Chains A and B, each alone.
Chain A
């Protein structure tokens, strides 16, 4: 039937109509996200009022801020009754906030350099590859820092790093970082990471360069002994390593004592450390020390050997059952009783011991969770390949278990970094201790609360939020399934 008897058949499609105004663009988004129903509308309006109140309070305070006076009274004179922050406390006490009030001024470049080196040293641990833009940013920052160090403005180096990092983050956030492509981070850079503890120690505490060099030599000797005896068995290798390392350290002790002045930086005693530097030091040292201890404790708790298992269980549960502050009391007033008479550990070392114990118990629990989450088939497969305990753990079990535990480990690390502020309770002058003690108690700055605490909040927030964002990113990177 070629000819239709219908009077009209449409042969072409109608043009598409535009969706209704309420179903597209900004209006739709607003309707769906802010004004979907009366309750939602009321909540939106309330939040807007709250945001307005907060902004109305903070904006003049920030905008009228005074940055250059040398005391609160002067600052109030400048403000003349207007609302405004006396941020000059930050500029005037900047070095104290970062380094404490006793670290020698002319040596500020040392912790600053150590901080920059720390950034370099942890890069190969944290990243397999880096966007080109990041490398470029880092190079610019590093150059700036070196220039600042040469110019004797070490206090400026840290804000350079922070601001540069924030700038990079903002760029990456808005997608510009994707275009440049990325370069692989060489595994060889891990050597730098291995060297950093010794260099960092030498920079911050000073003294002869022989001490860290000999400590490194001991570690190297231990490693070589381990490689030599590993073929016999893992335990033998470990024993050989410990013996070799201690032998080198013991002999090195005489050498260091004999030649104290070789390439010596002026020594800075531990009690002179303070400010945010102290928080960073405690956080970095304790987290890196507690990871291996935590792994050992977790494996011990999973062990079939009842005595070893119970030693680990009692240790972990005891540490997790008491607040960190009681452990710090132990470090402060009790630990000295348990050390051999005549030895004099300084407070910072005792605190590092206790905080490391504390965090290793928590990390052990996180890793135990990762070990328990692995299917039993993995253990059995490793056994059926004929691997012994050390091999199966190192090659099969731990890589997977640690991957599962990354979010938990990062949580512990962030928590620990926050907890380093507790040392202010046992009268150490970390950032919080500096603010509560020397700065708020001084006649010039008595009564400046908001600016100082706001600064502390911002500093901790930047570090902790950065770490947690990194862990989320890493989790996405390591996710090999369910793409």
Chain B
């Protein structure tokens, strides 16, 4: 069992807040392929398409036959912890602050032997599950984990925590509590043991009984927040910006239609205002303090979630203008990711498929319920991934976009 972390005490206000130190970030271009794998929470390694050898670390050529025909393939992730050691000294600032630190050598069933970070519950000789994860620099690292998920308090393992964004004991802002998805998100986050859940209430003159019901949850506080209003975002950042450790940007404004829709651009503009400018306004106001607080105690700032849609990646003509606003937000999120990684804070983009809601009513199933979307967001935080595609439709579109984006574009236009 992993030693559980106690609920944090209030911070000593006269102590200097520790600045985020980051683990070494430089990687070769080949090794960045592993970052892509880690971003999605898969386990893939380079495999030689000619001789079938699985290799690690990533290289330009196959170490067995010198072929350049290398492809990233999902491979079995189990192996044996052959050897291990515990570091008590490091010249790297990041590791110095986190000593002692366990390392080990894992012999993978699929071939390679890999030097990896090792969790507290793995002993030498044990079977382990190898995981490629994003560290606080946003780069891929290998972590040896117990083979099952049954280890009590596993999420409190100190080395695992460096790659995850668990909401427990953290203060989470969900920017829009007026949508069913937002309400499900608040419930799901509160259920993880979040210390506080702040919920944005846009257009407060519009009474919302479901939002009022959320306020009954002890950890939940509702605040006015309208991401289309710079002043409103500024004011809320002034009130709670320095407390937020996870921000979930779930702004949602969809009006079906494309170029041949209504003559005016009011609806497309409103979509842009929520989806794109909303993200920009939040990022300007909440981003800087989040970045500064990346190492503020064991439950410091750790994640920024954007709930987008798989149509951020390819335009759905039935929701063309909304898709365009999502594409803009997707692009901006990449800049935000660069900014926040300086503080060790992860940007998690969620790209669900069709949702079970009033604006996507006529889309055929399968559609994602608000609860399923919320659970996918929480799982992404717990797993520490950077990209998640909840729902069968999103999974399929994502897989096929990797193979042949043009094909997906044409199919969506039918």
Check if A and B associate.
Answer: no
Give me the interface of B with A, judged by CB distance under 8 Å. Answer: none
